[in-house]
Structure 1
């Protein structure tokens, strides 16, 4: 099977690493890929993840059997639709189904329609109205940009002043551009966060596993929210009883609800959850792709061949009786550039990678790296640089 993975970050490096182990694979491509991914796949750096026409042309030219889309932006832009129209099997939801992540307001309305537990909320397109609301609320809340913001468009506001500042930053200062034209102000849920993953062909579901990511930039759960500074899988907060509740109250109603509304969801469903003291799940957010950095420990733990699951989901032939086997617990720690998630410098030489090669149970996934000018090493090229992942 010829496979094309779209993207070039740490998540895609982990997916490529796992897919490359499949006996069903005959050729592996990545676009744009990265210098690290190039050790496992044929990379096409001239074709960006947002180049929808270029990706369709590449898939045709290379006679690709399956496209696996990593990032959320091309899914929201309709890449899966374009590929399917060209007759190319694709793992990832349509643009309409991807609205579950692309618009938090849409996701909230969807959950309300289908009785899926989530935080109480209000949606605002008017800045003054949002300020009035948080002033009257006068208690801790969460302010979210409606659109895609690379995992950074969420502000945890312990007081009214912080909430006003978040509204101003998103709506007046336009930190997240059009993603902040509308915002959601919601109650601050109490409990412990977790992520849950399932693969679906739009009707049938194969559950994967739970994970937990840590978003704050600094040690001790301090600092701004980021795309994720580390992750572990499994997580103790998702017990067997809680997992059953997640499936019955969240995952199954979501897949059935999307199908009922005429937008069958095909791909991976990644649900961000708050688990309360009773072990009951409440949806914080939906994501329509694998998480970053949660994918890294998930792929290291996963003993089952991933590729047949992706292919079957893309064809609508997923077998719900498939049992996914998991190894020992795994943890990913992200090494980030100084200043992330705000401004940061790139071009810093990375040392010590050779010393990690061959370490049992350890894999270093590259996110924001590139080859040095001499070509004999790596340097930083992004905010999140490496995901050092170990199991045991």
Structure 2
């Protein structure tokens, strides 16, 4: 089987790492890829939103399957183009992708199909948004409507901070993604991420994780695309998983199909476990980053049959995926300045070392010079991932590997997994 994997971040490196292990795969090509992915796949310089170029590449390599990594590729319509070209694709159409590409669409979708979520207002002007804030109490949640690389959400402790966030978003910080903002109720509870696969008809739960969005220890600092994650997450009891499946995931798949866009791919359900049951925080129409990395470290089954089944409508033919009892931890090493303007170009030494069978370093934002020097080329630079028989054991391995990597311009949180460890110690 020939597979084209689209994307260049840590999530895509993890997907390439897992796909390359499949005995079903003859050829794996990644576009545009990254230096880490080049160790397990052919890398081709075709952009993740260059839909005509990606279709041409898929035809060139006689791809039996296209796997979409990032949300920007979904929004660009690669899933639609693959359907027109007759190429099986793991990833939804742009219409179904509105579940992530427009938070306003998703809120209206929840209203239409009865999915539990927080109260909200959609606003297009600063005056309208500030008036909407009057109906909410601190802390205030302000979200850019469109895709903002995980940086379009502000949880403001004060009204002054909320007003500033509104002015920032509607003032052009996020471009077209911030043309509208959503003022949203702050949900009390514990946040978590559940994943579900769908082939347009059949769906299955595909793992859970808990991440850390704030930049600094103790859940301080600005929101980011994610600074670390662990799986499994103790918050996901069997009861909560069933509630999320029946109240959020399955109704979402049914609703988007009723809208004329059957869902084929993975749906990332970010939720708040509240006293009233799970409520939707947001949908993502791809594997989370860095949640994907933790899930794939624990997945014992071959991933490729599940990707192909989603693309071809045969998910019902597969057994339930098999998961390791091990715990997995991912610590994100970011460039100083992230999530603002990251310091680019810093040299990285030791990231390609052999840290043993339980530690994997995925490249998230790197480039390699002609002389082989590895350098930072993004906000989130490396994902240092480890597994172990306990959360503490996995965590210790990840942080030991980070200490062995020489990257002077990098920083990471030192408390990944604190919620679960605190629960264990309670």
How much has 1:51 moved relative to structure 2?
Answer: 0.6
- Following superposition, the deviation at residue 360 of structure 1 comes to 2.8
- The residue number in structure 1 matching 2:407 is none
Superposed displacement of residue 344, structure 1 = 1.8
Tell me, in whole angstroms, the C-alpha distance in 2 between the residues paired with 1:360 and 1:86. 40
- Identify the residue that residue 266 of structure 2 maps to in structure 1: 268
Partner Cα separation in structure 2 for residue 196 and residue 217 of structure 1 = 22
Counterpart in the other structure of 1:4: 4
Q: Which residue of 1 aligns with 2:395?
A: none
1:57-115 deviation line (CA, Å, top 9, x unaligned): 00011100000000001111211101110111100000100000010000000011111
Contact 1:206 1:322 in 2 (8 A): no
Match for residue 246 of structure 2?
248
Q: How many Å apart are 1:200 and its aligned residue? A: 0.5
Q: Which residue of structure 2 lines up, in the alignment, with residue 116 of structure 1?
A: 115
Aligned to 2:204: 206
TM-score by length of 2: 0.89
What SS does the aligned partner of 1:319 have? helix
Equivalent residue number for residue 397 of structure 2: none
Q: Deviations over 1:330-377 (max 9, x none)?
A: 0000000000010122111112325x41423110000111113411x4
Residues 119 and 283, structure 1, Cα contact 8 Å, conserved in 2: yes
Q: Distance in 1 between matches of 2:253 and 2:314?
A: 15
- Structure 2 residue runs of 5 or longer lacking an equivalent are 389-426
Output aligned runs, 1:1-392, within 5 Å.
1-45=1-45, 47-172=46-171, 174-277=172-275, 280-319=277-316, 322-327=319-324, 328-354=326-352, 356-375=353-372, 377-392=373-388
CA RMSD of aligned residues (A): 1.2
How many residues are treated as equivalent by the alignment?
Answer: 387
Which runs of 5 or more residues in structure 1 are unaligned?
none
Q: Provide the rounded CA distance (Å) in 1 between the counterparts of 2:319 and 2:108.
A: 32
In the alignment, the residues of structure 2 paired with residue 137 and residue 241 of structure 1 have an alpha-carbon distance, to the nearest angstrom, of 31
Residue 227 of structure 1: SS of its match in structure 2?
coil
Q: How far apart in 1 are the matches of 2:376 and 2:270? A: 29
Separation in structure 2 between the aligned mates of residue 13 and residue 252 of structure 1, nearest angstrom: 29
Contact kept in structure 2, 1:206 and 1:320, CA below 8 Å? no
Contact 1:201/1:312, CA 8 A, preserved across alignment: yes
- Structure 1 range deviating more: 269-278 or 77-86: 269-278
Secondary structure of residue in 2 paired with 1:344:
coil
Q: 1:349–1:372: 8 Å Cα contact kept in structure 2?
A: no
Deviation, 1:298, is 0.5
On the 8 A contact 1:146/1:183 being kept in 2, the answer is yes
Offset, 1:277:
3.8
Report Cα offsets for 1:233-259 as digits up to 9, x if no partner: 110011001001011101111111111
Stretch moving more, 136-145 or 115-124: 136-145
Q: CA deviation at 1:386?
A: 0.4
